[in-house]
Amino acid sequence: MGTPFKNLLFSSPKIFSPISPSTNFVINSTKKSNIAKQLFNNDAGAIKKKVQSNVKIHVTDYDLTKLKVPTPTDILFNTPNKNELLTNGVKEKQEFNILGKGAFGTVIRGINKGSIVAIKIVKNKNNNHINEKNALHLHHENIVKTIDITFSSTLNYFLVLMEYFPKCISLQQLLDSEDDITESQKLKFALDVTKGLQYCHENNVLHLDVKPKNMLIHDNCCKLCDFGNSVLKDDLRNFNHQGTIAYTDPEILLGKLPSTKSDIYSLGIVLWQIKYRKLPYENTDNNETIIYKVVKIGMRPKGYEENCEYWKLFCQCWDCDPEQRPQIGDILNELNSLLVTHK
């Protein structure tokens, strides 16, 4: 079957994890835009809009004394290079302990006040540091802590200082591996992520990029990370969505504003992925086709319909009607009950 999406406009891939790159696409969504409708009419796709915000940002001003210089044999990020990082980013010939990289940023290991941290170096444009700052006040065992943001409007890049884990992998890497994962472990990781997401919602934050690549596993604990697409629930005036299509709420694809139920939809896709260890829509040709089928005919990731509560749970999470999706507290209760039965 042919697709009418020939001119859909997407951005380049963007990094969203302290350890691994991720391919995301920009969807500009406001009250007046309707992405899916434009696609169905063979339109040119999303209308680009510059993000503006009057929100006051509590971040650290650029200061060379903020980061202590490590020894050359320990950590390769040092103070003399910091100004160059904030001006030019990471160049190929520079020697740093790189944890991950992508088209929009690089994550390196560095030192902050004597402690090892993960430092994400991001291109400074369209006030994109505003999204990252939403995580500054989040302190939860199932969320990778954002320690500080080093930002100056006169510099080309800004730094996001995050909690560092010496031995960790993303949930996506684990699901892609050949390692055995017990049902109890799957439920534990699902429960961890849901707890972290609940804490976000309780603190006025919508994550809006919930997916396994944005979840780190350390000491058998799964942590939600990367708030580069987050927004405040009570400040959606200039919402400009950047997210991975396969996990994006159809309501957002239709041009509507996000809500907590948008994160619940994404969580449902993740719960499915944890169970089957496959990528959603992996056999679908392109994102335009995914958008059309998800919105127009209600397509969801394939699986074997089972008469079990876990199956029912993620199906409820990705319901076409946001009002029919469960509250996050109910999801936690169900996952807790399921985990008890598998111990």
Element (H, E) at 123: strand 115-123
Residue count of the chain, please give it: 343
In this structure, what are the phi and psi dihedrals at residue 319, rounded to the nearest 5 degrees? -55, 145
Q: Are 252 and 261 in contact (CB under 8 A)?
A: no
- The amino acid that residue 69 corresponds to is V
Helix, strand, coil % in the chain, rounded to nearest 5:
35, 20, 50
pLDDT at position 16 is 37
Residue whose token pair is 């040092």: 78
| 305 vs 313: CA distance, rounded Å | 12
What angle (nearest 5°) sits at the alpha carbon of residue 299, between those of residues 249 and 270?
A: 55
At residue 98, the 3 state secondary structure works out as: strand
120 is in an annotated binding site: yes
Query: Whose CA is closest to 137, among 58, 210, 196?
Result: 58
pLDDT at position 304 is 73
71, 72, 92 from 21: Cα distances, Å: 28, 26, 17
Q: Is the pLDDT of residue 292 over 80?
A: yes
Q: Is the pLDDT of residue 334 over 70?
A: yes
User: C-alpha 284: how far from its chain's center?
Assistant: 22
Q: Please tell me which residue, 84 or 71, carries the higher pLDDT value.
A: 84
**pLDDT tens digits, residue range 246-282?**
999 999 999 999 999 999 999 999 999 999 999 999 9
| 53 vs 131: CA distance, rounded Å | 10
Residue 81 binned pLDDT confidence (cut-offs 50, 70, 90): low
How many Cα atoms within 13 Å fall on the side-chain side of residue 233?
Answer: 12
Q: What percent of the chain has pLDDT over 70?
A: 71
Give one word for 190, left, alpha or beta, with left for phi > 0 and alpha for psi -120 to 50.
alpha
pLDDT at position 49 is 33
pLDDT at position 249 is 98
Q: Is the pLDDT of residue 1 over 50?
A: no
**pLDDT tens digits, residue range 106-116?**
888 888 777 88
In this structure, what are the phi and psi dihedrals at residue 146, rounded to the nearest 5 degrees? -90, 115
Q: Rounded to the nearest 10 degrees, how much is the dihedral formed by the CA atoms of 262, 6, 16, 28?
A: -50
**pLDDT tens digits, residue range 53-69?**
333 333 333 333 333 34
Q: Please tell me which residue, 21 or 196, carries the higher pLDDT value.
A: 196
Q: Are 6 and 42 in contact (CB under 8 A)?
A: yes
**pLDDT tens digits, residue range 26-63?**
555 444 345 444 444 443 333 333 333 333 333 333 33
Q: Is the pLDDT of residue 189 over 80?
A: yes
Q: Quote the tokens at residue 164.
A: 């560092």
**pLDDT tens digits, residue range 119-177?**
898 888 767 788 899 999 999 999 999 998 887 777 778 888 999 998 889 999 999 99
Q: Quote the tokens at residue 143.
A: 């969320």
pLDDT at position 94 is 61
Long-range contacts of 109-114 (CB under 8 A, 24+ apart): 109/75, 109/77, 109/164, 110/67, 110/70, 110/75, 110/77, 110/161, 111/67, 111/68, 111/69, 111/70, 111/75, 111/77, 112/66, 112/67, 112/68, 112/147, 112/148, 112/161, 113/68, 114/68
Q: Tell me the H-state helices in 226-327.
A: 250-253, 260-276, 287-296, 309-317
Q: Quote the tokens at residue 45.
A: 């796709």
Residue 311 binned pLDDT confidence (cut-offs 50, 70, 90): very high
Q: Please tell me which residue, 64 or 317, carries the higher pLDDT value.
A: 317
pTM value surpassing 0.85: no
Region of poorest pLDDT, from 19-28, 38-47, 318-327: 38-47
Over its C-alpha atoms, the chain yields an Rg (Å, rounded) of 20
